[in-house]
Amino acid sequence: MKTVVLCNQKGGVGKSAVATLLAHHLARRGQRVLAIDLDHQGNFSRPLTLSGRVTPAAFTADALLTGVAPALPDQPFVLVPGDRALLGLERQPALHTAFARQFRSFLAAVNGAFDVCVVDTNPNPDIRLIAVLATADCVLSPIQLNQEALDGVGGLLNHERVGLRKIKAVLNPKLSLIGLLPTLVEPTPFQKANFLQVVQRYHPLMIRIGEGAGAFASIPRRSCIAEAQAGGDVLWEMKKTAARDTWREIEPGLSHIAHLLSEAIPIPSNSPTAAVRHAPAAG
């Protein structure tokens, strides 16, 4: 089982929407998918539950860190939903090491039951994020094309507690960065300039999906994506032409990410979308 973490220390970048799209897309490809929502706001849990495609576990995600979780449903698409109890974990520092070990043990126990585990995280750099990064195989980082978000890439890589370089060096040598995924992208001169800035500054971290100068994975700003999240709809099954057109824009990037996750071997360290150690020292 490959475990991919959706991670960004800034909220409002569409992270949960990307997690939802990716989980549905992996399931559509015939992968056995475990979805875990470590964000107490539940923005990953709600659309998946409303879709009717997942089988929710009988417990919430805090149990994955605090104790022995009950057995998961024997189904190919399972959700462990988020809950406000997750907020209390950071306030128990004496138990943080135990929390991380328990999460690792849980993933090891279900390793043979799923092909991919998709984990949505909260933006705060707390024990929830540390626990999953210490065990995961790879990170996908949605980013918004504004200066604040771009500056935050340095934090993603170099934060003293949850920076990917720190986690990789100290806790999880196998951790790789699939790449940065620009979200809420609009065809405006300002956004195009910011996209160019991202490509120039973080070229090794972008997710290349073709040979052209701008052939990198991204998620456009479209109202149909927000509607799908709110209503639990699967984007490519919506009746609106705009939804199907949007899916055609998004699908090549998600398919490339899905391909990386389905590989039997680790993401190569010399890939332009790969290891954290090849990332520029920004921030």
Write the CATH number for 158. Answer: 3.40.50.300
- Residue 51 within any structural domain of the chain: yes
146 vs 246: CA distance, rounded Å: 22
Phi, psi angles (nearest 5°) of residue 207: -105, 100
- Residue 205 within any structural domain of the chain: yes
Helix 223-231 to helix 241-262 angle (10° resolution) is: 80
- Residue 186 within any structural domain of the chain: yes
Beta strands in the chain (DSSP E): 2-6, 33-37, 55-56, 77-80, 116-120, 138-144, 176-183
Judge contact between 31 and 24, C-beta under 8 A.
Answer: no
Mean pLDDT by 10 residues, the chain (283 residues): 88 86 96 96 96 96 89 96 95 96 95 96 91 95 76 80 90 92 81 74 83 81 94 94 94 93 52 41 41
Which pLDDT value is given to residue 77? 98
- Residue 221 within any structural domain of the chain: yes
Which pLDDT value is given to residue 213? 65
What is the residue range of 40's domain? 2-278
- Residue 283 within any structural domain of the chain: no
176 vs 108: CA distance, rounded Å: 18
Which pLDDT value is given to residue 280? 43
Domain count, the chain: 1
Alpha helices in 79-213 (DSSP H): 96-109, 127-133, 147-158, 164-170, 189-202
